Amino acid sequence: MDIMTIPDFLVGEAKDDVNIFFYLRKKGPDQIKVKLNYSQNMLCLMIRGMKEIIDEKDHYKIDNDQIALVTSGNMLMTERVTLRQEFESLLLFFSNEFLSFFMEKYEVKIPSVVATPPPVISFPKDEYLINFQRSMKILEKDFIKRAFRVAKMEEILLYIMEKHPEPARSFIASSIHKDANNPLKQVVQSHKFDNLNSEELAFLCNMSLSTFKRKFYDIYKTSPKKYVIAEKMKKAEHLLQRKKRPSEFYFELGYENQSSFTTEFKKYFGVSPTAYSMQA
């Protein structure tokens, strides 16, 4: 799975410090998973379908009842279509340089110390945001002009700051001063049950696979695969001791079906989950 840098991939040489793109997918698989490097911050308005974004700490779902602010950086993204096989979104990208200009122009004040917000912040669509989305479609052909892009970007940011001042200001401050280095341990602990492979974990850590494996061993003294299996089995053991049935928890441990969980459990402990429960 190659890394796609956006908005660069979407707008090519026309990339500016404010970019607007209507994304539409009418055909294809029900679900697409990609590695993305957001070279700019993004405001996403889902129109049809559902988007799931995974960063180093958590995963976030965005549907057509929401808009979301997304900071720049490496993330995994999954697109899921509607029952009609449709996926559509309106994407507004803006650089940190634009944010600095925006803050100066509108005298936006942020506290010197702010709590770091999650990299994805979502808000429910209200009447204004629904109308904003419609107006963007009407103006689609005009966004070749930078003045139109900047005006609409400023408009939506001002509105979000008015309606959601605390998270919006925190987002702006965090985006400008974001630390590009993601602690490996935090990534691993946040996603050890999410069925991500070593390559995907390395991507979320902003590391090559070889660097990730080397630093992982320095911390955990074992390979990523062995560590994740051990953590899954540790949790499974605890749940079985609490009289939970495998059918109730195999999915939360990252297994696609109960059979694959049972096979790995038996290989690890030498007995099936059922037999282990009877002994516990």
- Position 31 scores a pLDDT of 85
Q: Which residues of the chain have pLDDT under 50?
A: 179-181
Q: Say yes or no: 23 and 114 in one domain.
A: yes
Q: Which residues pair with 217 in a beta bridge?
A: none
Q: Say yes or no: 19 and 153 in one domain.
A: yes
Query: Could you tell me the CA-to-CA distances from 154 to 63, 106, 144, 269 in Å, in that order?
Result: 23, 9, 16, 58
Q: Say yes or no: 142 and 72 in one domain.
A: yes
Q: Say yes or no: 42 and 134 in one domain.
A: yes
> Can you tell me whether residue 171 is helix, strand or coil?
helix
Task: Print the domain residue range for 241.
Answer: 184-279
CATH for 117: 2.60.120.280
CATH for 229: 1.10.10.60
Q: Say yes or no: 188 and 264 in one domain.
A: yes
Backbone angles phi, psi at 184, to 5 degrees: -60, -45
Q: Of 127, 158, 176, which residue sits at a domain end?
A: 176
- Position 97 scores a pLDDT of 83
Dihedral sign (CA 167, 171, 107, 66): negative
Q: Into how many domains does the chain fold?
A: 2
Q: Say yes or no: 171 and 193 in one domain.
A: no
- Asked if the bond preceding 117 is cis, omega within 30° of 0, the reply is no
Q: Say yes or no: 216 and 151 in one domain.
A: no
Q: Say yes or no: 172 and 220 in one domain.
A: no
Q: Measured between alpha carbons, how far is 227 from 161 in angstroms, rounded to an integer?
A: 43
- Position 280 scores a pLDDT of 63
